[in-house]
Structure 1
Amino acid sequence: MSFTKTVLSATVAVVISAGMSFADGDAMKNPMVGGAAMFADKNIVENAVNSADHTTLVAAVTAAGLVETLQSEGPFTVFAPTNAAFDALPEGTVETLLLPENKEMLTTVLTCHVVAKAVMAEALQGMIADDGGVHPVPTVGGCTLQASYADGVMTLQDENGGMATVTIADVVQSNGVIHVIDAVLLPKM
């Protein structure tokens, strides 16, 4: 069994043993993510563990020791890369980041996907318009993403020029909002 699957299995077991139920509650018109309902009365971690498209992200959050943080009150905006986004990284990158000796770098990469407030897509579109087409988005990890919006598509650029598209916006959580993205954003290297 791979390290990622082991960590994910352990995370799911801990969450289930903590007595959290994912079948209860109203999805409150949230979009489905990874084939699972997303409940506005559940926190970011409680919802993310149910998405089949975010198993790598959940494993990485666990390995970085960020589960408790992302279960806290927040509010947070999380730009959540899919498994396919992690798979698109150069071969061996994810496995290397998940090694215990690389926890600090993994934490930096992950927190460059987190904003310390809840920002809905419409509000971000307004900020982009107010800034003439590109809005800087400072993250918890110290990275500044550049957000833009054109032809109905929200994109984010990392400090290395890497681009991600928001594929599912405004997945409301009890402690913020998730926007699903199709690429992993990286800190300045």
Structure 2
Amino acid sequence: MKISKIATIGTLAVSIAGLSACNNMMPHKSAHMKAPMHSQSMAKMNVVQVAQSNADFSLLVEAIQAAGLTGALANPNANYTIFAPTNAAFVQALQETGMTKAQLFANKPLLTKILGYHVINGDMAMYAKDVKPGNVMTLSNDTLMVTSQGKLMDENGRTTNIIKTDIAANNGVVHVIDRVLLPK
């Protein structure tokens, strides 16, 4: 995977123009989630703390820390929509790309690009009811497609299921996905 342009996550300047209300992101049940997540208690935490509170996001938390994005994603003035891959999703992505965790985490520009592809920052966090099929611009300045079946499709044509939606945080919302999204 070649990366020609790296977005600076700290600038937090991404628009989600053209996104209008609809409820086509349907939650899917999964055996991958190890601990129940209660939106009301999560709403007191930022999106990073939400991830830290569930063991099934330990690789995501490690990646955020390795990329140096913990502070930016903890911004209390942000309105993030996070598509959070599970640990199993990270393992699958490493197998698919042939990279080790150490190789990916040591490549900070690539890691930042991939993580930014899982974040939308806008005037409001996007709950499931707010999402309509079509393209959205991610924090990495790449396009992510929401399909009419309520799945996410990355720029490589790979799809992921949204297995849990609407985990509220004090600076956005987290939706759990079962595959790491990869920009071109």
Q: TM-score w.r.t. structure 2 length? A: 0.74
Aligned equivalent of 2:72, options 69, 73, 79: 69
* Amino acid aligned to 2:138: T
User: Matches of 2:145 and 2:72 in 1, distance apart?
Assistant: 24
- In structure 1, the partner of 2:163 is 167
Determine if contact 2:146/2:153 at 8 Å carries over to the other structure.
yes
The structure in which a higher percent of residues are helix is 1
Deviations 1:10-59 (CA, angstroms, capped at 9, x unpaired): xxxxxxxxxxxxxxxxxxxxxxx641545111101111111111000000
- After superposing the two structures, state which structure 1 stretch, 82-91 or 36-45, moved more: 36-45
1:114-129 aligned at under 5 Å gives the runs 114-117=119-122, 118-124=125-131, 127-128=132-133
- In structure 1, the partner of 2:12 is none
Determine which structure has more spread, i.e. the larger CA radius of gyration.
Answer: 1
- After superposing the two structures, state which structure 1 stretch, 107-116 or 154-163, moved more: 154-163
- In structure 2, the partner of 1:92 is 99
1:44 and 2:51 aligned: no
Deviations 1:58-114 (CA, angstroms, capped at 9, x unpaired): 000000010001100210000000000011122434321111xx1011000000000
User: Matches of 2:163 and 2:141 in 1, distance apart?
Assistant: 24
Deviation, 1:157, is 0.5
| Superposition RMSD in Å | 1.4
User: Matches of 2:92 and 2:130 in 1, distance apart?
Assistant: 30
Flag the 1:57–1:170 CA change in 2: closer, same or farther, 3 A. same
Deviation, 1:149, is 3.6
* Amino acid aligned to 1:104: P
* Amino acid aligned to 1:114: V
- In structure 2, the partner of 1:110 is 115
Q: TM-score w.r.t. structure 1 length? A: 0.72
Determine if contact 2:46/2:171 at 8 Å carries over to the other structure.
yes
User: Matches of 2:67 and 2:141 in 1, distance apart?
Assistant: 16
**Ranges of 4+ aligned residues in structure 1 off by more than 3 Å:** none
Determine if contact 2:83/2:174 at 8 Å carries over to the other structure.
yes
Determine if contact 1:34/1:54 at 8 Å carries over to the other structure.
no
State percent identity of aligned pairs: 39
Structure 2 unaligned residues grouped into runs of 5+: 1-32
Determine if contact 1:36/1:52 at 8 Å carries over to the other structure.
no
